[in-house]
Every structure is written in structure tokens, then in C-alpha cells.
Amino acid sequence: MSVTTDYAFDNQAAQAPSRLGALEAAYDPITIARVAELDLPAGARCWEVGAGGGSIAHHLADLVRPGGGSVLATDIEPALTAPAAGLETRQHDVRGPLPSADRYDLIHARLVLGHLPERRQILATLVEALAPGGWLLIEEFDATSLQRPLTVPSAADAEVIERVVDLTQRLLVASGADPAWGNAVHAALADAGLTDVHTRVHAESWSGGSAGARLMAHNTVQLRDRLLAAGATEAELDRMGELLADPAVAVTSWPLVSTRGRRAA
């Protein structure tokens, strides 16, 4: 079955596995730490929404499988999530009906809803799918302020980074992304009636060659044709790739806003 989306980063693209691998390396430790804070019951049922490369789905399966729990990993391109015991993968567009009648003790979505204009309706659907006492963990970027170069060889290189980051942001917004969504999730979970709502924000510097810088570089490669059409030059994009591979270069990361809330028991 073919599923369409306006998502700017097509997980069927040739660059997708490399991009998702860099994203996992940059952000999995943050997500795993947040999951560890939750008091999941023995035999917990989990739903990983927009599983991508599947690393968090596999972590959850390892976490809950010993107690008889299970994980459903859904994505419009589920083939990127490898099979594992206690893990079911299914093609699913989160903008549509729920994938099953099950209710979940943990639903996690990282960098998914912020790209979709229907994000508030989707959030309501995810809340509906929670079991009593179940947790919803939503992780999104705060992209209201653009990434900044911290150390660069020259002022001209700083301008290259700022220009490519700005054009990338414009393309994402044109595809339906909301740069401010990460900051809106806390209130959205509270408004949905969830309790114990809590937000943690992580930001850091990314040096050239780091997982975060590789993620930026892969984003630029995957969006190259669209960036050129938006006004970037071949020279700018080539230089962006060189800078993001240079350990002497550093940029600010996108802040990851990690927000969880709990359905009343």
C-alpha cells in the first residue's frame, strides 16, 4: 500500500537510513533517559509512533518484553524497523484512524507531530489510545530561533550556515511544520486532561562530525534540490557540507522539548 505525506524528509529516500541513524545517535540517549523516568507496569504495551529507523522501538521492546509486554511500531515506511521479539511493525499514517483497538501504557512520538498540520487532532487521538494510567511522551524541536554558528573559520562561513539553516526552516514550514509546536505541547497535554505533565528541554553545541552535525548535513543533502530551487547555490551547499564535517566548527543544536503527561487511572 502506498501512503503519501507532505513530510519534507521522505523515509523512502536513499539518504533516509543515514539521516535517521544520525538522528538516533544525537537524540536516543535523551529519549531513553526520559522513558526511564516513567513507572511503566509489568507487561506494558507501548506504541512507537513514526518509528523511523526503529531504535527506540527496539529499546522499548527490550525494556518491556521480560515482563510479557509488547511494542507496536508504526510508520509510513515501516521497513526501516528491523523485526524483534515482542515488536510488531505496521504501516500506518498517524493522521488516520488508530491502528488498533488496543490501549497503551506508553505512546511515544519524536519529531513527528510538529511536521503535520493536523497535529492537534492527532494529539487528541493519541490521548484516546492511552490506557488508564498510561503515559504520552511527545518530543519536538523548539525551532522558534534558528541554529547559530558558534565557531567558524570566517564571517563568510557563518553566513553560509545561517543562510542554509534559514532556507531549510522555510522549506519545513512550507511543508506544514510548526516551529513553535515544541513549546506548545505542555499546554496541549494539560488541556487534554493529562496529569503529571512535565517538560524537559535539552540543547547543546554540535561540533563538526558529531551526530548532530551529521544530521544537519544529511538534511541538507536530502533537501538539496529543494534548497537550490529556493535560492541556495551549489557552492553554499558544498561549503555547508565541508563545515559540518570540520571538528573545529561548532553550531547550536535545535533544543529538543520532551514533554510527558499521564492519563488518569
CA 43-45-48 angle, 5° bins = 140
- Total domain count, the chain: 1
Which helix (H) or strand (E) segment holds residue 202: the answer is: strand 195-202
pLDDT exceeds 80 at position 29? yes
Q: Is 162 a domain residue?
A: yes
- State residue 9's pLDDT score: 76
C-alpha cell at 118: 493536523
State the maximum Cα–Cα separation within the chain, in Å, rounded to a whole number.
Answer: 57
Give the H or E element holding residue 61.
Answer: helix 55-64
Nine-digit cell at 221? Answer: 543533502
Q: Taking 80 as the threshold, does the pLDDT of residue 2 lie above it?
A: no
Average pLDDT value for residue range 256-265? 97
Q: Are 130 and 136 in contact (CB under 8 A)?
A: yes
In terms of residue numbers, what domain contains 111? 16-262
Would residue 63 count as lying in a domain?
Answer: yes
CATH number, domain with residue 39: 3.40.50.150
Residue 197 lies in a domain: yes
pLDDT at position 203 over 80 = yes
Q: Domain for residue 103, yes or no?
A: yes
Distance CA 44, CA 40 (A): 6
Whether residue 232 is contained in a domain is answered as: yes
Q: Is 152 left (phi over 0), alpha (psi -120 to 50) or beta?
A: beta
Contact 152, 249 (CB under 8 A): yes
- The model carries a pTM of 0.95
pLDDT band at 171 (very low <50, low <70, confident <90, very high): very high
